[in-house]
Amino acid sequence: MFDKITLIGIGLIGSSIARAVKLKDLAKTIAITTRKSETLEEARALGLGDIYTLDAAEAVAGADLVILCTPVGAYEEVMKQIGGALAPGAILSDVGSVKGFVLKVMKPYVAEGVHLIPGHPIAGTEHSGPSAGFADLFVGRWCILTPEKSADPVAVDRLTSFWGALGSNVECMDANHHDLTLAITSHVPHLIAYNIVGTVSDLEADTQSEVIKFSASGFRDFTRIAASDPIMWRDVFLTNRDAVLEMLGRFLEDLSRLQRAVRVGDGPAMQELFTRTRAIRRSIITAGQETAAPDFGRPHGTTGNAIVQPEDVTPFAVREHGGGEDA
């Protein structure tokens, strides 16, 4: 499909792409570049590519597809290095969890003739690094592309076919629409998970209580989401601030309503809400974005070298991670 694919950043997502590209034979050459030599050596030891270099400009030379797979906060620095080295006609894409910011930060460095088509695979786990990836991470998951209206339709088609070959369903949308949608389906749920796990850890320290020892599925499942990469998520909240605040505002209004229902003992209101949310869970399963397998903390199987996370029973069962959703 491509002569040379360059992956910049070779963590969970980059290494999963590398594995899938190899498995499906989608490129003659895979070039890998990253910031730290230890990470590059880990990728080499795993046999993820054909060319390994710490020089990002060298890695992108002659590539017809370049995908940024670093945290979005690193994009500007990466673009400064590669902007002038991108081959005319190359497709430049990424996998970042935020799209408006990405378009803004990448665009100034993109020369005429290079096709900038940002992307976001809605697939991931809470694990990081080259060893965490697996070839079928993207199978049956959505990948959202956010090309500008002026983007070359042939290049968009090529990238759509690429993600299709990795097993994803592809949809194009406006970057801002993506950011608002992901704010509520992924970013705010992560914020809630980080917050509740933080509250519990403070409580445990303050009161020497045994919340961690006796953690039931609700809290335990939040800890899975809250174990997600701190740098990546810091960058998500730094770069999708407006959409997150908009959705957080709505969430807080609804939480106040629920708080009132608990305070006044409004059983019917609670039952109505919990029935509605259960139906949402079922519709996610019906849509094939989750399985109905019970969890209780047991691994259900392995794919590549990563455990496929099973059922998530939290009310915010957004599988950014665990064989499901992303950031």
Q: Which residue, 25, 27, 33, 70, is CA-closest to 51? A: 33
Q: Is residue 95 at the binding interface for ligand NAP, with CB under 6 A as the rule? A: yes
With respect to ligand NAP, which residue has the nearer C-beta, 9 or 270?
9
Q: Stretches 108-116, 207-215, 276-284, 318-326: which one binds ligand NAP (CB under 6 A)? A: 318-326
Please state the closest distance from residue 126 (CB atom) to ligand NAP, in A.
7
| Cα–Cα separations (whole angstroms), residue 183 to 37, 107, 240, 269 | 34, 23, 8, 26
Q: Which residue, 103, 114, 12, 105, is CA-closest to 66? A: 114
Q: Which residue, 138, 51, 152, is CA-closest to 323? A: 138
The H or E element containing residue 121 is strand 119-121
Q: Is residue 290 at the binding interface for ligand NAP, with CB under 6 A as the rule? A: no
Euclidean distance between CA atoms 146 and 132, whole angstroms: 26
Q: Stretches 21-29, 67-75, 109-117, 213-221: which one binds ligand NAP (CB under 6 A)? A: 67-75
List residues bridging with 93 in a β-sheet.
67
Please state the closest distance from residue 78 (CB atom) to ligand NAP, in A.
5
Please state the closest distance from residue 35 (CB atom) to ligand NAP, in A.
4
Euclidean distance between CA atoms 224 and 88, whole angstroms: 42
Chain positions 216 to 255 lying near ligand NAP, rule: CB under 6 A, are 229, 232
Do residues 30 and 51 lie in contact, with contact meaning Cβ atoms separated by under 8 Å?
yes
| Interacting residues of 247 by C-beta distance below 8 A, sequence separation 6+ | 180, 183, 184, 187, 188
Query: Of 128, 146, 239, 240, which one interacts with ligand NAP (CB under 6 A)?
Result: 128
Chain positions 1 to 60 lying near ligand NAP, rule: CB under 6 A, are 9-14, 34-36, 39
Q: Is residue 97 at the binding interface for ligand NAP, with CB under 6 A as the rule? A: yes
Q: Stretches 22-30, 122-130, 211-219, 241-249: which one binds ligand NAP (CB under 6 A)? A: 122-130
Binding site for ligand NAP (CB under 6 A): 9-14, 34-36, 39, 69-72, 74, 77-78, 95-97, 121, 124, 128-129, 229, 232, 320-321, 326-327
